[in-house]
Structure 1
Amino acid sequence: MNTREPEALVPAAVDTLPINFAILDDDGTILHTNRAWQEFGKANDIELRPDTIGTNYLEITRQAETEAARTAAAGLSEILTGDRELFEFEYPCHSPDERRWFLMRAAPFTDGDQDYVAVAHFDITERHEYQRRLEESNERLQQFASVASHDLQEPLRMVTSYLQLLEQRYGDELDEDAAEFIDYAVDGAERMSAMIDGLLEYSRVETRGNPFDSVDLEAVLDDVLLDLEWRIADADAELTREPLPTVIGDASQLRQVFQNLLDNAIEYSGEQAPRVTISAARDGDEWIISVTDEGIGIDPTDEDRVFEVFERLHSHEEHEGTGIGLALCRRIVERHGGDIWIDADSDGTAISFTLPAAQSRAE
């Protein structure tokens, strides 16, 4: 056991931190605990009590009967043997009166020629409860979207079918206004159907996404351009593509991002033929992917609003769309841990987003 005075290792400020903190020697023996550790131990009568100084923390956790304690013991053992540099573990610490959650974090450090381990327990109850409520909210959103898709699509199809049947059977007897009214009604039902499908897709980004893997964005873009081949030709669009990287992500969802951004760039090109550039730039551990056009641009005051669900800057008569495309892009990019933003000026619009870089096998 190390004989150096533990107080020399711990700044006075550590003792005032609202974090349960302890220092162990390289065998797992507790050398020092701060005030929060001691007060928590007294209040809960558990292994964090102050009289454990001089005892082996690894043995304390091993003797506990809970699964959480056994997991903590296994992780701490790997830290002490040098098999890992950081151990993090979330666990419950419930009492009859309240339910609380903690994050245990252990990491080795060296002072002079002596090895030590710092152990901290963070109270993450508030964060855990927020995450739980968020997951419940997302689950309710998905349930609502699924019900809406199933229960609303059928009557919409019925409305559309009967309107079209009315036009077919009595078209010769309808005047010009009546025919126009039927067209408006059919168009509205079809747009509503597209919005419902978009809402369902938006709600399933987190729950129906594929596991992350290496994704060749060159191949993703090839597939998207093949799908948009007719639209590109019809708009006489000119696309310039720079080399794209391999990233970590969900190929299917990233394909949706490219398709939405390119479709928007073509749709909002103005009176001139669309001119679109797809580029990429490395920024640390991320890639910044940009889709830039020379179209009508976006007012700077609207650059955040366009990423909201059902937000449209133009009427349906001016430009088609459901108002979900960019919102879906943002949700997908955020699932990948990235950001998405707009740089707009009088010469067009650049929509950029970040994705985690795929490290080489050597790295």
Structure 2
Amino acid sequence: MLPTSPPERFALAAFDALLANIAIIDGTGVIVAVNRSWTVFACNNGGTGEDLGTNYLRVCDAAQGEDSGDARAISAGIRAVMAGELRLYELEYPCHTATEQRYFLARVTRFEQDGECFALVAHEDITRRKLAELEVTSLNASLERRVLERTKALEASEEILQSVNRELVNRNEELSQFVYVASHDLQEPLRTLGAYTDILRHRYRGKQLDERADGYLDHITEQVGRARRLVRDVLALTTVSEDAPRTATDLGELSRKVLADLPWPSDAELQISELPPVWANPPQMRQLLDNLLGNALKFHGAAPLRIELSAEPDGKLHLFTLRDNGIGVALEHAEKVFGMFQRLHGRTATGGNGIGLAVCRRIVERHGGRIWIEANAQGGTDLRFTLPAVQDTAVLETEQPGPDTQVPAR
């Protein structure tokens, strides 16, 4: 082996230390490098571990058996990434053995080195997360099944029906507590990983690390930041309480505070009409407006951003409309965007984790309202939501702003 400089040695060691099974493939599909995890996995699953020089695309295309469809999908994804049709390709797939259930996530990205394009193919073991998801799904299905059976069988018994309801409440509280604790505990290792990455960057960047190693550190920092945002988003979702105290809340004042905190482009036009008070929890309303206005900022188009926030009476509710001229949402996806982890755009294009609108829906529904999306003539989005009106307006002593208040962009 040729002697290597310390930065190269660290990079190779870090490459081998990654838990994901990683291979680097050249433009013809031939494997030119693998890490230790790839070799160990191959040896433990009937292979020889001698994969260098093997044409990975041909191996995938020639796969037989139950996993042949996933193998061909991965080879198609590699070709699409190498051709520049996709920046990132991901596929979750099962890889069971005779003794255990296993699930993996295949992730394909592309990079250039010495004028040539290569694909980085990573297979990450997501068995624990997948089994947890399946367990939660099974638990929810079991709970729903038991509720339906008991409700039908014991409809005449109010006492037993109340017992079933209490059981459901307890289970939901336990599930929420589990998600909260799990999300909270994830923050500590993420902070530690981020801290050590910062130490490596500040101590060795431009001194002992080459540009490729610097890029690796930047990528690690980016992924740590994304994971921490995801944990915070999950915590935000689990802490939306139906029992939160409510009061007469001035949405006009809250919206102006949120607008002032967001990094608007200098040419943005932001207009808030007179907003009526609502009977709601102020912190949850702040979070609702922060998520909605933040989304409008995040998904704006090439034209100067224009945002309008207005309201009109709707019986005992108020109907609010947040209109923008952004990239819009196709009507067939208008409901999908409110689901957890549902994204219509890649992370590299817009960032975020696909939880923001799920939090908004939970907040609005916890207040007895509803939220939905409509297209508008500007090509952007009309996001509408309802919230309960304040029945006794005398309880609101805060002076309301005048109509069509103009808020300058920062």
The TM-score range, normalised by the shorter chain, is 0.5 to 0.7
Is residue 297 from structure 1 mapped to residue 332 from structure 2 by the alignment? no
Is residue 218 from structure 1 mapped to residue 252 from structure 2 by the alignment? yes
Aligned match for 1:136, one of 148, 170, 175:
170
Deviations 1:232-286 (A, max 9, x none): 2x35321111110011111111111111111111111111221000010111111
C-alpha displacement of 1:335: 0.6
The answer on whether the counterparts of 2:184 and 2:231 sit within 8 Å (CA) in structure 1 is: no
Instruction: Give the alignment of 1:1-363 within 5 angstroms.
Output: 123-124=157-158, 128=162, 131-171=165-205, 172-206=207-241, 210-228=244-262, 231-232=263-264, 234=265, 236-345=267-376, 347-360=379-392
The answer on whether the counterparts of 1:167 and 1:182 sit within 8 Å (CA) in structure 2 is: yes
Secondary structure at the aligned position of 2:345 is classed as coil
Alpha-carbon separation, structure 2, partners of 1:127 and 1:291: 41
Secondary structure at the aligned position of 1:149 is classed as helix
Identity %: 41
Alpha-carbon separation, structure 2, partners of 1:323 and 1:235: 27
User: 1:351/1:127 Cα in 2 relative to 1: closer, same or farther (>3 Å)?
Assistant: farther
Between the two structures, name the one with larger relative contact order (CA 8 Å, sep ≥ 6). Answer: 2
Extract unaligned runs of 5+ from structure 1.
1-98, 101-120
User: 1:361/1:267 Cα in 2 relative to 1: closer, same or farther (>3 Å)?
Assistant: closer
The answer on whether the counterparts of 1:278 and 1:291 sit within 8 Å (CA) in structure 2 is: yes
- The aligned counterpart of 2:39 is none
C-alpha displacement of 1:313: 1.1
The letter of the residue matching 1:186 is T
User: 1:313/1:126 Cα in 2 relative to 1: closer, same or farther (>3 Å)?
Assistant: farther
Alpha-carbon separation, structure 1, partners of 2:330 and 2:357: 16
The answer on whether the counterparts of 1:307 and 1:327 sit within 8 Å (CA) in structure 2 is: yes
Secondary structure at the aligned position of 2:384 is classed as strand
**TM-score under structure 2 length normalisation:** 0.55
Alpha-carbon separation, structure 2, partners of 1:205 and 1:199: 10
C-alpha displacement of 1:332: 0.4
The letter of the residue matching 2:382 is A
Alpha-carbon separation, structure 2, partners of 1:219 and 1:287: 16
Secondary structure at the aligned position of 1:331 is classed as helix
Considering only CA atoms, is the larger Rg found in Structure 1 or Structure 2? 1
Alpha-carbon separation, structure 2, partners of 1:127 and 1:297: 45
Deviations 1:36-75 (A, max 9, x none): xxxxxxxxxxxxxxxxxxxxxxxxxxxxxxxxxxxxxxxx
User: 1:294/1:157 Cα in 2 relative to 1: closer, same or farther (>3 Å)?
Assistant: same
Deviations 1:279-316 (A, max 9, x none): 10111111001111011111112111111111111111
Extract unaligned runs of 5+ from structure 2.
1-149, 395-410
Alpha-carbon separation, structure 2, partners of 1:235 and 1:183: 29
Matched residues, number: 241
C-alpha displacement of 1:129: 5.2
Alpha-carbon separation, structure 1, partners of 2:244 and 2:376: 36
Secondary structure at the aligned position of 1:173 is classed as coil
User: 1:225/1:122 Cα in 2 relative to 1: closer, same or farther (>3 Å)?
Assistant: farther
Secondary structure at the aligned position of 2:350 is classed as coil
User: 1:126/1:203 Cα in 2 relative to 1: closer, same or farther (>3 Å)?
Assistant: farther
Alpha-carbon separation, structure 2, partners of 1:149 and 1:224: 26
Deviations 1:152-192 (A, max 9, x none): 11111111111121222222222211111111111101110
The answer on whether the counterparts of 1:156 and 1:189 sit within 8 Å (CA) in structure 2 is: yes
Secondary structure at the aligned position of 1:318 is classed as helix
Secondary structure at the aligned position of 1:289 is classed as strand
- The aligned counterpart of 1:15 is none
Give every structure 1 segment of 4 or more consecutive aligned residues whose post-TM-superposition deviation is greater than 3 Å: 121-131
The answer on whether the counterparts of 2:190 and 2:228 sit within 8 Å (CA) in structure 1 is: yes
Alpha-carbon separation, structure 2, partners of 1:145 and 1:216: 32
Secondary structure at the aligned position of 1:288 is classed as strand
The letter of the residue matching 2:239 is R
